[in-house]
Structure formats: C-alpha cells, structure tokens
Structure 1
Amino acid sequence: MKVQNARRWAPTGPRAWLFAALSLLLASAVRGSLHPVLGPASPGFAFCIAAALIEYFFGLAPALTVMTVGLVIADYLFVPPYGDLTYFDRSDVTLLVTYPLITIVVIVLIERLRRAQYRSELVASVAQCRYEILLRSDNERLLARRHADETHRLLRELTHRRDQLVFIRAVNPTPLANDPAAVPAIAPEVVPGTRPATRSLGNGLQAGDRFDAVHPADIERVLTVLTPGAHRVRLLTAAGDYRLTDALCERFTTPAGDFFILRLEA
C-alpha cells in the first residue's frame, strides 16, 4: 500500500521551533560547562545530539536549522581562536566536514525510521477501519439471516400447527406491526381459498383456532406473564368441562417485531 502522507508525520506549528531554540540554548550550556575539560575537542557533539532529538520529535526542518545554527555557535565559541569567525584553519575545516556529515547521516536515518513508523501506524489504522466495516457488515448479515430464519419458523408454526394455535401476541412491534392487520400480513393465506390462521383481537393479539377452547383465566394468566416455556392451561372438552392440558409458549424475533405464540402440546 502506497501511503502519501507518511512524510507528514512531524507536528507543525511554533512549538517545534520553540523547542529547537531551547535545544540550542541547552546544547550551548552543556558544551560550555564541559569546555574547561574538553577544550577545543569535539566542539559540535552537543549540537549533533540536539539536532537528532529535534529530528525525532519535530521533523526535518527544525533539525536542519538546529544543525546549521549549532555549527556557527560551535565554530564561534569552541574552536580556537574563540569568539572569532574571520580566522580559518584546520580545526575549522575539520568541524565543517565532520560535524555536518555525521549529523546529516543521523538525521536522515531518524527521518526514514519515523516515516516508516508513521506509515505503519496509518496502515494499521486503515486496516482497523476496514476490519470494523467488515465486522459490522458480517454482523448485519448474520442478524438478517437470523431474522429470516425466525420469520420462516414463525410461518411454519402458523401453517403446520394452526389447529393447535391458541394465540399470537406482538411485543415491541415495528410501526408496521402496530397495525392490527400486521400480524396476519406476516402469515397470509398459505393456500388460496382457506381461512386465515388467526383473527385479530386488537392490541397486537391474534386469536388462533383453539383460543375459544382455552379457559379465559388461563389465557389472561399467560398473557400477563408472557414468558417462553411450558404452561398448563384448562381446555374445554366435548363434554363441556375443562381438563388440564400442556401448552408451549415460544418467542419469535422477526424484522416486524417480537411475537409470542401459545400452542397446545396435544
């Protein structure tokens, strides 16, 4: 991947130049404090270190400025005759050759390393963004597949076990499911000419084939709790009395909302 912005890793603004000036002052103070010990030896080492540090934190332009100004300060203060730039001898030539050469090599190496580091960070950020996009798309695909599976399961429940269906209740429906006719729209007449599997009672409740055969108190109890699982309800028999019957409440999560279906086990 070709990254054009890798060369723009360094921060910009007056802060970089302020630190460049402070590094020159600090390098001059360090070299001046060591001057009684070193004398004319290594006049530019402190400025070379200062330029390398500025390059690492603030980039190429401030570092080259520190190197250039440091060369003048080192030649003026720490190369004999001290305090005189008009006199030019072998010490000046040595400083003019060795100090810029070493400093430029160090600066260029640091610049390349910093660009490579910044490029790696940019590539990692792009890869992270792409991974998040792919992960989000994969999650949406899985969610859509789950909704489709739940809708198909709901349709099979309404068609294959309609003779055992007691009721279907819509919970947290979408605006479409707020319409009393929305639940039948999920499971329209499967076979042309047949009656619908449910009839609307309003408020998201649809009555099934066995709704009238179940004791009203049991229906109210199940609707109050409305949790998936096994239930015991009283079913009206042909003799006119009620007997306990096993029922099962299931939950279906579809794009139209959540639906609870209560059906008889036998």
Structure 2
Amino acid sequence: MKVRNASRWAPRGLRGWYFAALALIVASGGRLLLSPLLGPIMPGTAYFIAAALIAYFFGMVPALAVMGFGLLIADYLFVPPYQQIGVLDQSDVDLIVSLPLVSILVICLIERLRRSQFRTELIGLVAQSRYEMLLRADNERLLAGRAVDETHRLLRHLPRYHDDIILIQAPDRRTALDDPGGARVAGPERIAAATAPGLRYEHVHSDDIKLLLPTLTPGNHRARVDMGAGTFKPMDCICERFTTHAGDFLVLRLGG
C-alpha cells in the first residue's frame, strides 16, 4: 500500500530547530570538557551523536544542519592547529571526509526507518478505522436482522388470533428462480416459505389457494370458502399491502 504522508512523520514548527541548537551547545560543551583527555582524537564524534539523535526525533533537515555546523565547530576548536581555519592539513581532510560521510549515511538510514515506522502506524490506524466501521455495520446488520425476525415472528402469530385472515405473504421473499433455459419461473417452495397461513386458510378451496399464491396482488379476489359439510361458496376476499421496516407484506382476508 502506497502512503503519501509517510515522509511527514517529523514534527513541524521551530521546536526541532530549538533542540538542534541545544544539541550543538551540549555536544560542544561536552567535547570541550573532554578535550584535556582526548586532545585531537575523535573531534567530530559528539556532533555525529547529536546529529543522529536529532534525526531520530526531529527529522533529516535539522540533523543535517547539526552535522554542518558541528563540522565547522569541530574543525575550528578540536583539530590542530586549534582556532585556525586558513590552515588545511591531513587532520582537517580526515574530519571533512569522515564526519559528513558517516553522518549522512546514518541520517538517511534513520529517516528511512522512521518513514517505514510512520507508514506502518498510518496503515494500522486505517485498518483500525475500517475494522470499527465493519463492526458498526455488522452490529447494524444484526439489529436489522433481529428486527426482521421479530416482525416475522409477530406475523406468524397474527393469523392465529384473527378469524378473517386467510394468509399473510411476503412478496420480497417469493422472488422468481432462474431455470436452466434462462427464463424466470416462480418457485413454489419459495412462495410457500414466504406465506403464513391464517385460521381461514384451511377453509379455502385448495385449487383457489394454488391460483392465488403465485399471483397475489392488492385488491379484490374471489375464492371458494368451505361453509361446512363439504359445501364451498364463492366469497369476496380483500388483499391489502402493508409496508414495514422488514419489507412489504400482503394480507388476504375475507371481505366484510
């Protein structure tokens, strides 16, 4: 994954430059204290350490500034002949070559590592944000599924307590099935699964039920109802559509 902001890991503002100046002062003071012991040995080590620390905490640009000024200070104060810039000997050449070479190498490696670290942190934040979004979506899906299940459970109980209801059907769940030839045909099993029989369901002639189920639409219908002793009488039926958060439902009942 390509992260464009991976190079912007370093803190912005003047804080890095303040610490760079402080690092130069501390490195110079420490090297001055050690001069009686070290003499001309390792004149740029303190500035190399200071540049590496600044590179790790504040980025490449302040670290390069520390290295540049540290090179001048080290050559002026700690390379013999001391406090003379006009004289250039082997010690000056060794310092001018070694300190920038090693410092730039270490600073570049630190910059690369810090960019990789910052890139990993950004990817982790994005992954966490997406994970939280997936969790919220999953919770919403579970809540919606629970609401749908409760609605269907209620609709299964409603026909048992209303004498006029013949059946309740969910048109969204009686979708057509594809046959091998490419045509769309109604699936009887799916239509039956989307139908909740009512108390009057058994009283309606089975042939009328078979005709009504695949083509049930809101409006008036005619069906033969058992009046007792095997006698069927044509009666008016009313089909109404009800829209809920769980979908649309068709309720077929006897006409009043």
Fold shared per TM-score above 0.5: yes
Q: What residue is the counterpart of 1:132 in the other structure?
A: 132
Q: What residue is the counterpart of 1:6 in the other structure?
A: 6
Measured in 2, the distance between the counterparts of 1:15 and 1:185 equals: 63
Q: What residue is the counterpart of 1:37 in the other structure?
A: 37
Measured in 1, the distance between the counterparts of 2:93 and 2:243 equals: 93
Give the 4+ runs in structure 1 shifted more than 2 A.
160-163, 184-195
Alpha carbons of structure 1 residues 71 and 193: separation in structure 2 relative to 1, 3 Å: same
CA deviation profile, 1:75-124 (whole Å, cap 9, x unmatched): 00000111111110000000011111111111111111000000000000
Q: What residue is the counterpart of 2:157 in the other structure?
A: 157
Alpha carbons of structure 1 residues 188 and 102: separation in structure 2 relative to 1, 3 Å: closer
Q: What residue is the counterpart of 1:95 in the other structure?
A: 95
CA deviation profile, 1:62-85 (whole Å, cap 9, x unmatched): 000000000000000000111111
Q: CA deviation at 1:149?
A: 0.5
Q: CA deviation at 1:14?
A: 0.8
Measured in 2, the distance between the counterparts of 1:194 and 1:96 equals: 104
Q: Output the aligned Cα RMSD.
A: 1.9
Q: CA deviation at 1:193?
A: 2.6
Question: Residue 143 in 1 paired to residue 143 in 2?
Answer: yes
Q: What aligned pairs does 1:1-266 form with structure 2 within 5 A after superposition?
A: 1-162=1-162, 190-193=251-254
Letter of the 2:253 counterpart: P
Q: May I ask how many residue pairs the two structures share in their alignment?
A: 175
Measured in 2, the distance between the counterparts of 1:188 and 1:68 equals: 79
The answer (yes or no) to whether the contact 1:48–1:99 under 8 Å persists in 2 is yes
Q: What residue is the counterpart of 1:179 in the other structure?
A: none
Q: CA deviation at 1:162?
A: 4.1
Measured in 1, the distance between the counterparts of 2:86 and 2:160 equals: 106
Measured in 1, the distance between the counterparts of 2:249 and 2:117 equals: 61
CA deviation profile, 1:209-238 (whole Å, cap 9, x unmatched): xxxxxxxxxxxxxxxxxxxxxxxxxxxxxx
Letter of the 2:20 counterpart: A
Measured in 1, the distance between the counterparts of 2:111 and 2:150 equals: 58
Q: What residue is the counterpart of 2:176 in the other structure?
A: none
The answer (yes or no) to whether the contact 1:159–1:190 under 8 Å persists in 2 is no
Q: Secondary structure at the match of 1:31?
A: helix
Q: Secondary structure at the match of 2:159?
A: helix
Unaligned runs of 5+ in 2: 164-241
Alpha carbons of structure 1 residues 189 and 22: separation in structure 2 relative to 1, 3 Å: closer
Alpha carbons of structure 1 residues 98 and 185: separation in structure 2 relative to 1, 3 Å: closer
The answer (yes or no) to whether the contact 1:52–1:106 under 8 Å persists in 2 is yes
Letter of the 1:160 counterpart: R
The answer (yes or no) to whether the contact 1:9–1:115 under 8 Å persists in 2 is yes
Q: Secondary structure at the match of 1:19?
A: helix
The answer (yes or no) to whether the contact 1:52–1:63 under 8 Å persists in 2 is yes
Q: CA deviation at 1:188?
A: 8.4
Measured in 2, the distance between the counterparts of 1:142 and 1:131 equals: 16
